[in-house]
Structure 1
């Protein structure tokens, strides 16, 4: 018997774009392809709203300005009732609070939230209500996140881990593989990262580590994809270290695939990281990864097999890891291929859709 098809309301309150918004969009698209009806609630003019609309997803614009936005709660309640929603799935903190209250008022059967941050959750009455009472299930994107969530859940209620995933068939690494031999001969390598430019991403340490490599690799380039409040400070650091001719800031890019094709090593030097969707995208493009041994990253990167893990905030160790890979082109290639296989086997979007369908069924039937 084919599984039941559900009416699912997804709530995401973010205006800007990051891994969580990519996951929300891919989940909605995948569920639609499997015959479920999905409605996505997000703020008007958000990047997610625009991209979801282009993908044929039904979008409802709700401002969700704060957790005390009573008008948004009223709108959400109306959407739930009008569309006879079976499941409310919340993806952000404000969306969680507003969606949980609206779901309670509307009497919808199933409520769940996906938690994508691994910073500590205050063990107070409000959070115990939000995570332990007002939703039926908390999904964590990594075991690192799950451990924090578990601290505010009542005894006997467990968070389930569903790792973030990518649509691996959209990543074609063949062109990148063909360039490796030529780059090895000329040492025209490109180190790259895709990241929000905020302190917890540790990009400062990558820039410092990169500067230590130029004596050995004078043609080396560093490609930084992403934007954020620290961009001006990081550009100043690049100039102070006389790296301006080697480091390129590309800002926010809607589709990073073409830039991943140009890279030889992907680096994520985070000081905190719940999982690292950008790493999964890099692995899908057959890129070897150098990343921090922190948070959920070790759940993605197999140290010594798909990349190298280093201590966070350590430019010297980061530099040594990158240098080691560049000096071993066969290892560079093998780790990239291993990463592609791992992304297909463990982090393919079809896996994520199936796991969420199973959670939905269990909650509906329960």
Structure 2
């Protein structure tokens, strides 16, 4: 199959890009002819090393740039059997190009909490990264007949090929957070919760990996807390898995989260998990069997869950075991297989129940 993944860029900035890169590399490994169309970025070398063609088309939201991109995409799409858009601008630019070329367009909705995500409804099929995202898109008017759910999963990603890297020494008891430093991720809630935990559990430490526009503000908040010496901001890390391996508990206190990729990385490392019971997080954690779910925006209950996990005999070991068991649901192989099924639905020769391409 000739597949074109279309996105704004290939920089190491967000889950949209990571998911698209994972998918492209894995599809190429299966023998498909795969191209990534973007303005380029830091993942281009990895894509080329995995047999994925990179095609540079600037898709920024500037009138002349967008018009040029639309023309170039229209010429390009005739080369492919399927186009797969992962960002809103790319989807809107691909839609007329695919119509003219007669190529089905598949879109993936990553951030349904953004109202503008309705733009992804232009797809022949619209992939939601969790059932929660699918429900929201259906409420916004996307027909169920065009919606398909492919739950996120990263285990087996070519982005992290080396599994032998040793754990980061974080000590014990250690609590880890990995993600962007902005309000949606709930870092202020985590800081408040950790203040309670630190006052209860001697030696508890909080490690925060990631960066974002609110990084300076969150560091300032932490510096003014009584437990400031027990909180460390480590900045962004290219591969978070050694951090998961070195931590006792991974905390994911998001206020909104379609299906965070870091949850599958935490499961792969066998790190016990406490996360917000919101959006796609329960699905990623097998409805709470692979991690403890707490209400979002509630530092007191988050602290209570962490204290119980860290002080109840065998609770931490059980939490790690259940997270590790969930890794089979989080495989990239499953994501690729289910995505190819969606592609096949869009092709003229598709027969339900037949052997897939």
Q: TM-score, normalised by structure 2?
A: 0.88
Aligned mates of 1:54, 1:153 — CA distance in 2: 40
Q: For residue 78 of structure 1, report the CA deviation from its aligned partner.
A: 2.6
Equivalent position to 1:159, from 147, 157, 164: 147
Please point out which of 215, 218, 221 is paired with 2:199.
215
Please tell me whether residue 79 in structure 1 is matched to residue 76 in structure 2.
Answer: yes
Q: Distance in 2 between matches of 1:360 and 1:211?
A: 48
> Matches of 1:348 and 1:9 in 2, distance apart?
22
Q: 2:339 aligned with 1:356, yes or no?
A: yes
The Cα shift of 1:151 comes to 3.0
Aligned to 2:291: 307
**8 Å contact kept, 2:156–2:333:** no
Equivalent position SS for 1:266: strand
TM-fit CA distance, 1:203: 0.7
Distance in 2 (CA, whole Å) between partners of 1:331 and 1:111 is 47
Task: Tell me, yes or no, if the aligned pair for 1:173 and 1:285 is still in contact at 8 Å.
Answer: no
- Indicate whether 1:62 and 2:57 are aligned: yes
After superposition, the Cα gap between the structure-2 partners of 1:238 and 1:131, relative to the gap in structure 1 and judged at 3 Å, is closer
Q: Secondary structure in 2 aligned to 1:10? A: strand
Alignment correspondent of 2:132: 144
The equivalent residue for 2:248 is 264
Aligned to 2:106: 112
Does 1:333 find its partner at 2:321? no
Question: Structure 1 CA distance, aligned partners of 2:152 and 2:52?
Answer: 20
Aligned length: 342
Cα distance, 1:157–1:304 mapped onto 2, change above 3 Å: closer
Which residue of structure 2 aligns with residue 237 of structure 1?
A: 221
Call closer, same or farther: CA 1:67–1:333 in 2, change over 3 Å: farther
Please give the per-residue CA displacement for 1:16-68, whole angstroms capped at 9, x wherever unaligned.
52222111111111101111010001223x33435434544211122211174
Shift in Å, 1:118: 2.4
- Supply the distance in 2 between the matched residues of 1:106 and 1:241 (Cα, whole angstroms): 59
Query: What's the counterpart of residue 2 of structure 2?
Result: 7
Q: After superposing the two structures, state which structure 1 stretch, 288-297 or 332-341, moved more.
A: 332-341
Query: How far apart in 1 are the matches of 2:307 and 2:231?
Result: 17
Determine if the alignment matches structure 1 residue 33 to structure 2 residue 6.
no
CA separation in 2, counterparts of 1:86 and 1:304?
39
Structure 1 residues 16 and 298, CA gap change in structure 2 (3 angstroms): same
Match of residue 275 from structure 1: 259
Give the gaps of 5 or more residues in structure 2: 351-357
Give the distance between the partners of 1:154 and 1:271, measured in 2 at CA: 24
Written as runs of structure 1 = structure 2, the 5 A alignment for 1:310-321 is: 310-321=294-305
The alignment partner of 2:58 has SS state of coil
CA distance in 1, matches of 2:249, 2:39: 36
Q: TM-score, normalised by structure 1?
A: 0.86
RMSD value, Cα? 2.5
Q: In 2 relative to 1, CA 47–172 (structure 1 residues): closer, same or farther, beyond 3 Å? A: closer
